[in-house]
Structure 1
Amino acid sequence: MLKGKLPENVQGLEITLRHEDISGPFYHYSHGLKKHDGNCQRIAHGHRSPVELLVNGKRDLELEQEWAERWKDIYLGSQEDECELADLNLSPAANSLTEMTHHAFRYTAPQGEFELAIARSDVEMIDTDTTVELLAQYIAEEVSFSIEPDSTLEVVAYEGVGKGAMASSKGQA
């Protein structure tokens, strides 16, 4: 497939694909970031990454598993990018979709125009952009209502290899 497309000094190419070894709970979500400079601006690219939640300095595997289940094969939609299905350039097969069953998202980014129609059951709406920094803060705020008042919470949200963010909050339950 690549023969004739490689430089003369390249004798061959070998590629090995493998799952990242994640020992604990992980989330698996897709999203799009229109303000990103790289390929993250593509509307439905995904991440499979570990998430760590520490309550009073100790990892809480039960909370981590809850978030792994909550964000298992989910699209994280930004309210700013939501539109009406009628605003999308739908295929004839998709013209039967309804607002009751599907979300619609649309934005323009440096790489072009992006549109997505997706089942509501596969979406969690977020009121901010879906950067890993803002997602870590979102998780911290959501979890703060389920832990004891004045407990400390630290969230370590990873996104791919060598990327991630931390956020913290106090319990508000």
Structure 2
Amino acid sequence: MTDDSSNSDTAACPPEEEQTQICRQWEVPLTSYDPSRFGDVPSYIPPIVRPFHMLLTVPENLTWKEHHNLDNSVFDELRCFGFPDPTPEDVKSNPYLAARVVLGIFRTRIPDYNIRLEFVNMRHLIALVNKNEILRDTLAEAVEVETFALMRRLAFWYDEGPPLDR
């Protein structure tokens, strides 16, 4: 799904077994963002996230407890990648961390909905969060209140969602 497996991983793998394996691939914590590590993807133009995208949600039948358990797995994954207790300011200022939050959310996505292929590439996610302040702000709010229930339900992540502007 990605063009460079050393710099990205897919959102399709379950966090339980793959998480430990992925963590071992990295020799140092990844709390700092080095743009040269990911390089530019000049052919990729990330979509523009508009306010209405943050309101359009997909249906789901998860209970609050199920959402809470899924939220915990997102935070566990962030810790695995060297981000202990990220703050909202960290998410706003560190595009790599914001992209990691998104990947963690994707691993807990709503069943029966497929993530748009363009969003399972780490470089694309970094470009997406760099371009879209509203997305960074919403991710930061989710980290602050420690729930990603709304974020995992946003329709624009999914193939079934609304068309995206470039």
Do they superpose with TM above 0.5?
no
**As a proportion of its length, which structure holds more helix?**
2
Look at both structures and tell me which one has the larger radius of gyration over its CA atoms.
1
Higher RCO structure (Cα 8 Å, ≥6 apart): 2
Q: TM-score, normalised by structure 2?
A: 0.24
The TM-score, its normalising length taken from structure 1, stands at 0.24
